[in-house]
Amino acid sequence: MNKKINIFTDKKFNPESYILTRSFYERDTEVVAKELLGKILLVKPQENDARGEFCAGRIVDIEAYYGANDPASHAYNGVTPRSRIMFETPGIAYVYFCYGNHYIINAVSEKYGIPGAAMIRAVEPLSGLDLMYERRKTDSLTNLSSGPGKLTMAFGINKDFNGLDLTRADSKVIIIDASKLNLIPGKEKTEIISCPRIGIKNGADKLLRFYIKGNNFASHK
DNA sequence: ACCACGATGAACT
DNA sequence: GTTCATCGTGGTC
């Protein structure tokens, strides 16, 4: 068991003062995606978790998706029942089911009415690792959350998380600013690599995937 | 018909 | 240890 960070197991931990605000997300999607690198994804203890630990992970790999000019985006063809949420209030979660197997979580960006989302591709596990190993049915630390479907499985994120407000302290899922906490990861200088997004056909020319260079938990190097 | 994925196994170094 | 091919799965349009 990993004990290097235990702040999230403290019942007195109050994430409210660290939470990213609406204005953070209400900007250009590429900027939001890049700046989300190093921030911490937090999922609060769920009903079936007797330990009552937060699941926490540092975002190390992310992609930006736009709208009408981005053929890889779910919002490319305008508002549909699924894409509608990408046009809504920045700072909410867009969670969708993929390939009949996996859930994928995005943070909605841009002003209300403008589509955009940052898809979280990988996180570096910080807390709640026992639960992650159980859910992922693996013994490999670097296999816990090194992919968009893997991290949602590790964190217990499913379609019920769609539309939750990442900026509200009472949400099951939030994103906080790591630099305000005394955490070891992320203190070192970080270089951001830009490259084409993974697993798409149209729009593959755009360099809209960003990851932290050299990080062992990125979804692929 | 199309997919912004993951697990597995084969076939390579 | 890598890379490649394949398939399961279900929502969307």
**pTM of the full predicted structure?**
0.92
Query: Quick one: pLDDT at residue A52?
Result: 73
Q: Mean pLDDT of successive 10-residue segments in chain A (221 residues)?
A: 60 84 97 95 80 87 93 93 95 94 95 96 93 91 92 94 95 89 63 89 89 82 52
Work out if A101's Cβ lies within 7 angstroms of strand B: yes
A104 touches strand B (CB under 7 A): yes
Say whether the CB atom of A102 is under 7 angstroms from strand B: yes
Nucleotide minimizing C1' to CA distance for residue A65: B4
For nucleotide C10, the protein residue with its alpha carbon nearest to C1' is A100
Q: Is the CB of A99 under 7 A from strand B?
A: yes
Amino acid identity, residue A140? S
Strand C bases near protein CB (under 7 Å) are 8-13
